[in-house]
Amino acid sequence: MVGGGIAGLAAAIALRHYGIEHLLFERAADVEKVQGGSGLRLGYNVGRAFDHLGLLEDAKQVCSSLEGVRFETDTGKHLGTTRHAEGETHLGIRRAPLHEFLLAAADGERINTGAEFVDFQQDGDGVTAHFADGSTARGKVLIGADGLKSVVREQLHGKSEPRYAGYAARRGVLQAEVEGRMRVILGRARRFAYFPVGGPWVYWSASTNEPAGGEESPAALKRAVLERFEGWPEPVEEFVKGTDDSNTFRADTYDRDPLKRWGEGRVTLLGDAAHPMTWDQGQGACQGIEGAVLLAKQLAQDGEDPAAALRSWEADRLPRTAKVVLGSRRMGKLCQTESPVVRVVRNRAVKMLTGSSKESAHLLVDY
């Protein structure tokens, strides 16, 4: 398996759970540094996955429990509040602690760091992975979990650039007291959201439409948010001013069009390598974890024919992940719209959908 991020580590844990021998290769010299600063919502599908793997109670110790999502306008008008289904677990956590949690749950002796994947060759009996230092590794299957700009994906499908969604997110984390739900404030081509992410920490995100590739100092980042969100409901200004410069960062938003197939033969893709999506539905990491558990389960069931197991797993996963990719894309466009007419439609849609269980139905999955 190539890639020691969230999906790769989840796959390593799931494969061990099903008693499948595996090796994980990560390009970074220190796997503990394979992380980022964003906040993540882990939906019902991850709650069920962690429960299936025996990790849920431990996960709750490092996450915040989320009760739902409150939506309002930039003038403070309440649009509606969702409430998560009874008996299901919805969590908030920062990316770095989630990576550390998964790393602790994985078998560290099986993680090979400093291994830069170059290409693969496969035959009827297995797959040989080649690395930049000249070393090789061979197994029955190869799982490419190497992220948005996956090298495994490039060999399978050719080189291509991800699609920029048209908006960037300036983000931060600070220590503060908030209620146990996500709050989303919607304006014209702007959006501010925040939610608790474990312990005393709160994550916030300020999204604006602009060209990709912008760079700015932490101080400039905070100034940009304060200027563009001036007059918005509290605690927007309070949170931005109260965030230490070292805890701020900016990220452009990317995805890719869904593929009709992920792999071939004994090779497949997992997580962002297979289905990168915008963060608008909070399902990027979730779909990677969900897919990892279901992949391990499929390999355990059809171990005598690994290639058939991969194709069967892909046949189930492709329609589901394509729906989430395109749904996230539509939601992002709707939330970031500049059109006054579309904003009215958006606000009405939020009012109609909140309070029902429909908004979370796509998160339900059985392992």
pLDDT in tens, 122-136: 999 999 999 999 999
Torsion, Cα 146 98 133 124, to 10 degrees, reads -50
The torsion region of residue 134 among left (phi > 0), alpha (psi -120 to 50) and beta comes to left
Record the pTM. 0.95
Is domain 6-66+91-162+257-335 in CATH 3.40.140.10, yes or no? no
Half-sphere exposure of 193 (CA within 13 A, CB side): 27
**C-alpha to C-alpha distances, 31 to 14, 16, 171, 238, nearest whole angstrom:** 18, 19, 24, 35
d(CA 17, CA 53): 7
* Per-residue confidence (pLDDT) for residue 355, from 0 to 100: 62
- Would you kindly state where each structural domain of the chain is located, as residue ranges? 6-66+91-162+257-335
Residues forming beta bridges with residue 72, ordered by sequence position:
78, 185
* Per-residue confidence (pLDDT) for residue 360, from 0 to 100: 60
Residues forming beta bridges with residue 281, ordered by sequence position:
none
* Per-residue confidence (pLDDT) for residue 306, from 0 to 100: 95
In tens, the pLDDT along 249-274 reads: 999 999 999 999 999 999 999 999 99
* Per-residue confidence (pLDDT) for residue 35, from 0 to 100: 61
Residue with token string 């693969």? 120
Instruction: For the chain, list residues with pLDDT below 70.
Output: 32-36, 109, 355-362
* Per-residue confidence (pLDDT) for residue 83, from 0 to 100: 85
* Per-residue confidence (pLDDT) for residue 36, from 0 to 100: 64
